[in-house]
Amino acid sequence: MKSIENAYRRYASIYDLLFGAVFQPGRRTIVERMNCKPGQRILEVGVGTGLSLPLYPKDVQLYGIDISSEMLARAQARKVRSRLGNVMQLSVMDAEHMEFEDSSFDKVVAMHVASVVADPERLVNEMRRVCKPDGQIIFVNHFHSRNPLLGRFENMLAPLSGQLGFRPDFSLDRFMDQTGLDATEIGRVNLFRFCTVLEARNNKLFEPEAMAQAGAMS
């Protein structure tokens, strides 16, 4: 966890330059795809410098959390600069242990976060917990490339994950297996279709609930 915080402390001042414009088409596509309705509560986990915040309709309520106070300070500055009155809360918070109540949000989004967090399974469980039943859960991420050359390059970079602040060899199959996420791949976005968009409906029972139900039936 400390290494992630350190990495994003280092990135904060240059993050928008490195990952702003290049990933912005994907952020835009996702927000359009979310089809947000007036008054809906949207949570962005790992909101970073808040590059996506101006893309949302002005009549939704946006909440953003991030583990890095340096990244979040930039999101806060963006909120003020761009007069984003629909941003209700930006908080330093661990997406693997959120302080929100169960079923607090209509939609929960993680843009370029799945390959960054220490424990993707815990991230997904928490996203499910705070999302309303039948709410929408969305991920966009670059997963380990199936192109042999690029894949090999990413494998070579893998030992540097701590310094890079993400895992270049993070595979989609492993993510789906680890999390049991019932997600549909709904498209590829950004230059060279570099990133994958995944969407899930929050309609699966959480494990403790499922076990309690199984116990009640036996």
Ligand X SMILES: C[S@@+](CC[C@H](N)C(=O)[O-])C[C@H]1O[C@@H](n2cnc3c(N)ncnc32)[C@H](O)[C@@H]1O
CA 106, 79, 95, 144 torsion-angle sign: positive
Told to check if 117 binds ligand X by CB under 6 A, we report yes
Q: How many CA atoms lie within 13 A of 29 on its CB side?
A: 19
Q: Which window, 111-119, 151-159, 174-182, 197-205, contacts ligand X (CB under 6 A)?
A: 111-119
Told to check if 141 binds ligand X by CB under 6 A, we report no
- Pick the closer one to ligand X by CB: 8 or 100: 8
CB 37 within 8 A of CB 61: no
- Pick the closer one to ligand X by CB: 18 or 88: 18
Shortest distance, CB of residue 23 to ligand X, whole angstroms?
Answer: 6
- CB burial of 42-56 (b: ≥16 within 10 Å; e: otherwise) equals bbbbbbbbbbbbbeb
Neighbours of 82 (CB within 10 A): 12
Q: What is d(CA 67, CA 71) in angstroms, rounded to the nearest whole number? A: 8
| The binder of ligand X chosen from 112, 128, 144, 167 (CB under 6 A) | 112
- Pick the closer one to ligand X by CB: 38 or 129: 129
Residues that bind ligand X (CB under 6 A): 4, 8, 19, 27, 45-48, 51-52, 65-68, 71, 94-96, 111-113, 116-117
